[in-house]
Amino acid sequence: MKRLTFMIVLLTAFLLTMSAQKTYVLLTGVSNYGDEDLNLYNTTKDVKDLQKVFDNQQAKTSIATSQYAKHANIAKKLKAISLLAKPNDRIVFFFSGHGTPGGFVTYDRTLFNYQELVDILAKSEAQTAICMIDACMSGSVKTISANNFGLGDSNPKIIFMASSDGTETSAESRLVGHGFFTKALLKGLRGMSDANSDRQITLIELFNYIYSDVTDRTKDAEQQQHPQLFAPASLYEMVLASW
């Protein structure tokens, strides 16, 4: 009888483990575009420091930086993650580098259109997919497409958090050691955004913290940044991390 009880406990634990939510993370960034006028200082550091944060959250994390952050390689990795993710899982995609209206610029200087990003993620069984983009005009995902690139009611599971609105640049700082958006993101995920002190960080807590931090740090800059969130209100209280 004791042996049977023990086996039932083991089986229950195994089934719970199998059904537990997994988070698949792809972190990408380009510092070296092969041109001194285009190169950036902090994007690779953005990726590596975020990797540490997500690793601490037991996420399944992969990275692609500079020459490995070509258009085709990013798409390949993202498609692989999208296939791996099951209905209870979550996908996080991050990019740090140059951006233009409608997309971000990969190492091979091609535009990775937000529509392509949405199309890949929409095919996944994942419960939610969160895109965090630290690039100029990243908020254009909300403004330049007649149907918001298919986001919203048609793809309610896909969330975008952008470093600036559709007309603004996104700055990095050698003094801060990161892009302003990524610095706030790092601090927020490490607990600074936990507004109600329950040691859990929700989507809206993280965004509110990022928005406040970035707008404050850039208020005296040539152009102030205004981070943007595109997400159904029903997902605002979704827990992203514990600390």
- Residue 52 carries which side chain, given as an amino acid letter? K
In a domain, 241, yes or no: no
CATH assignment of the domain containing 60: 3.40.50.1460
Q: How many CA atoms lie within 13 A of 52 on its CB side?
A: 9
- 3-state secondary structure (DSSP) of residue 73: helix
**Residue 103 lies in domain:** 22-169+224-233
Please answer whether residues 135 and 163 qualify as being in contact, where contact means their C-beta atoms are separated by less than 8 angstroms. Answer: yes
- pLDDT at position 13 is 42
Tally the domains of the chain: 1
What is the pLDDT tens value at each position of the chain, 243 positions in all?
555 554 554 444 444 444 578 999 999 999 999 888 898 988 999 999 999 999 999 999 999 999 999 999 999 999 999 999 999 999 999 999 999 999 999 999 999 999 999 999 999 999 999 999 999 999 999 887 767 787 777 778 999 999 999 999 999 887 777 999 999 999 999 999 999 999 999 999 999 999 999 999 999 888 899 999 999 899 999 999 998
**In 122-141, which positions are buried (b, 16+ CB within 10 angstroms) versus exposed (e)?**
bebebbbbbbbbbbbbbbbb
Q: What are phi and psi of 90, to 5 degrees?
A: -130, 145
pLDDT at 52: 96
Query: pLDDT tens-digit profile of 146-166?
Result: 677 877 777 789 999 999 999
Residue 108 domain-assigned (yes or no): yes
Nearest to residue 80, comparing CAs of 97, 68, 62? 62
| 140 is a domain residue | yes
d(CA 128, CA 145): 22
Q: Is residue 58 a part of any domain in this protein?
A: yes
Residue 176 lies in a domain: no
Q: Read off the tokens for 243.
A: 């600390």
Nearest to 95 by CA among 86, 107, 82: 107
User: CA distances (Å), 60 to each of 67, 167, 171, 212, 218, in order?
Assistant: 22, 34, 29, 29, 33
Asked, for residue 59, whether it belongs to a domain, the answer is yes
CA distance 197 to 195: 6
Helices (H), the chain: 2-19, 43-56, 71-84, 114-122, 180-187, 203-217
Look at residue 147 and tell me if it is in a domain.
Answer: yes
| Residue 8 falls inside a structural domain | no
